[in-house]
Amino acid sequence: MDKSRQTIVMFWIVHVGLIFFLYPADIIGSLSVGHWSAVLLGFIIHVSLVALYTKGLSYCAPLNVIDLFQRVGRLFAFAMLLPLAVYFVLIIIITVRAYAEIVTVIFLGNTPLWTIMLLFLAVSVFICQLGVESIFRTGILIALLFFPFLILVLILSFQNADWHYLLPLMDRDAATFAYALRRPFLKSLFAFIGGFLFLGFIPSRVSYQSRKIVYASLGLLPFFLASVYIPLLTFGENTASKFPFPFIMAVDTVDVSWLMFDRVTMFFMISLLCFVILFLSLVMWMTLLLLKRGMPALKAPTAGLLLAAAIYIVCLLVPNWNAVERLMWWNTVPRLYAAFVIPLAVFALGLRHRRRETVRP
């Protein structure tokens, strides 16, 4: 049964949950003029990798990434998947710690960090244990509840825009892509890379059409542009670059008297945090899948609790926001590995698998 619609909704939820918090500050910090260039470069990389990854997966269907690598050999699969598992664990640690800090900064200033992190992990582990199909069904429900409001907030956020801040459109850095190797731009790839790898782990009973996924990924471009240009048009580049969360600050300036919420930011944050929790559940599910393949003796509930406990302890050891930013920078190498090596390997092995199936009598 074709479940492309559920897969697309989950694809969108995962990426939208990652776009609006850290990504705008990284792009604004990458260059001072022509920010659209950095957005488009990252987006082109993203779409190209999604197309390559899904094409390779379609060649080897119904095999998933783990099965595909294990067909080459157990040693090869271990060498390829161990860095990926490390990347997934780092993603969970960084996301839980960073978003807990964001929540305390924006609207739960008196709540201890440890309680917010515990809540994130507890809900994520619970959803994860229900399986990927339950995660997808939860994604459909959350999308129906929150996406309309999210779109409304994006539209209303332009009420304070000064379109003069759009100019100039380009400078030397933007035209020559000189920012591409700078730390802020490399960190901004977090919003592009972490979200599409789940496509290679979902079971064959959750089938989807790769072409539809690629088309759906194109629809994310307005969200990436809006997350950067709403704060730029509201405050200007000089002011927006001073904020750790420029998009949230821009949304906080929205004044809508007819809305039932006193602060638009409050409900907007709750919507995005639901998306983030689903993202954490999905990454935890993939990590547990890798752990259980490597250590078959581990049972699902025990493995999930042990993983969550280990991640929680590490999150408690991260002292402040500067340490979170260092973690994000240290995660650059695993991120680039997951972004480029895994899709290229899947495409190459998928193509080889297809050719062998074609010539087999």
Distance CA 341, CA 71 (A): 18
For residue 336, pLDDT over 80 is answered with: yes
Average pLDDT over residues 35-41: 90
Average pLDDT over residues 304-310: 88
pLDDT band with cut points at 50, 70 and 90 for residue 311: very high
CB distance 20 to 27 below 8 Å:
no
Q: What is the pLDDT of residue 266?
A: 76
pLDDT band with cut points at 50, 70 and 90 for residue 291: confident
Closest CA to 293 of 46, 30, 64: 64
Phi-psi region of 305 (alpha: psi -120 to 50; beta: other; left: phi over 0): alpha
DSSP 165: G
Q: What is the pLDDT of residue 262?
A: 57
pLDDT band with cut points at 50, 70 and 90 for residue 43: very high
CB distance 25 to 246 below 8 Å:
yes
For residue 359, pLDDT over 60 is answered with: no
Query: For the segment 52-62, what is each residue's pLDDT rounded down to a tens digit?
Result: 999 988 888 78
Query: For the segment 69-79, what is each residue's pLDDT rounded down to a tens digit?
Result: 888 888 888 88
pTM: 0.90
Domains of the chain as residue ranges with CATH: 4-355 (1.20.1740.10)
Query: For the segment 176-233, what is each residue's pLDDT rounded down to a tens digit?
Result: 888 888 888 888 888 887 678 888 888 877 777 888 888 888 889 999 999 999 999 9
Closest CA to 342 of 334, 352, 331: 334
Q: What is the pLDDT of residue 360?
A: 56
Average pLDDT, the chain: 85
